[in-house]
Structure 1
Amino acid sequence: MEGIRKGLDKLILFICVVLFMLMTVVGTYQILVRYVFKSPSTISEELISYSFAWMSMFAASYIFGKRDHMRMVFFIEKFTKNAQKTVAIITEIVILLFALGVLVGGGSYITSLSMTQMTPALKISMGYIYLVIPVCGIMTSIYSVLNIVDLMKNSKEA
């Protein structure tokens, strides 16, 4: 299980680094052609926007995997350790259901609906832009299952 988590972590971090590097290079190009050559690029802004959206979705999956998302610890800390683990497991189940239902199910639906729509500047299918939603939903679901297994394993050890 830990191997799956580490592999997924490395993959997501690699994707985020590549996207950030792409945004940096394209942003520099955009500034250069706009202010130095007085000829603004039409595709660079759109490419940066979509890259940022993709990077944000991958980073959100990574954060859910690490369980570093925002939590109301002041409320949870009032419970016993056993109740805290139960709440943590229920939270992970809710995240899993959301990821499967909304991100994977809804994301797949919107991806298939938008395959015929083209982006204005890049002239690629919007379905490819929306594809990040079900992909990250699958990743979040995998992380959620791994988190549930870890929580269950830790509660048996305690």
Structure 2
Amino acid sequence: MKEFNAKINQLIEWVLIVAMFAIVAVVSWQVFSRFILRSPNSYTEELARFLLMWIGVLGASYAYRTRAHLGLDLFYQKMIPTIRRKCSFLIEFSVLITALSLLVYGGGMLMNLSFALDQRSAALGINMGFIYVALPISGVLITLNCIENIIYFFKQTQEQE
């Protein structure tokens, strides 16, 4: 499972790199066309917004994998090791439940509703379900990483006993 997660997260890393390059290009074109050409494009603002949504949601799952997300570990570092391990498991389990309920289930419901209602974006005219699919994808990625962390936690606990 560790190798599978590593390959998936490497793919997500490349998707994020391409998306960051794309958002810089789109926003640069928007600024150029607005201020230099005096003829702004109608689709660039919406495309930049959608790219930012995907970068934010997929970036959160990538940050969770690499432990780059923000956290206050002042109390965590002062805990004794046995309580710290229990706290780590509780955190991982809480993230797992949150990812499954909010991102996978809730994001999936939002995506399905958008497809069912044929909700389209104003400027680009694409179905909003394609934009909202980032939520369940990110939820599945976070879930896979949580499961890997929980398995590692149990292996580590068994080795210490």
Same fold (TM over 0.5): yes
Q: TM-score, normalised by structure 1?
A: 0.94
**1:45 aligns to what?**
45
Shift of 1:50: 0.6
Matches within 5 A, 1:10-29: 10-29=10-29
**Separation of aligned partners in 2, 1:58 and 1:121:** 24
- Structure 1: segments with no counterpart, 5+ residues: none
**Separation of aligned partners in 2, 1:86 and 1:70:** 20
- Structure 2: segments with no counterpart, 5+ residues: none
Preserved contact between residue 65 and residue 147 of structure 1 (Cα < 8 Å): no
Q: Deviations over 1:17-52 (max 9, x none)?
A: 010011111112112211221100100010011101
Q: In structure 2, do the counterparts of structure 1 residues 27 and 151 end up closer, same or farther at CA, with 3 Å as the change threshold?
A: same
Aligned with 2:19: secondary structure? Answer: helix
- Give the aligned CA root-mean-square deviation in angstroms: 1.3
| Equivalent residues, number | 158
Amino acid in the other structure paired with 1:44: T
Q: Does 1:147 align with 2:153?
A: no
Amino acid in the other structure paired with 1:20: M
**Separation of aligned partners in 2, 1:67 and 1:154:** 18
**2:119 aligns to what?**
117
Q: TM-score, normalised by structure 2?
A: 0.92
Aligned with 2:78: secondary structure? Answer: coil
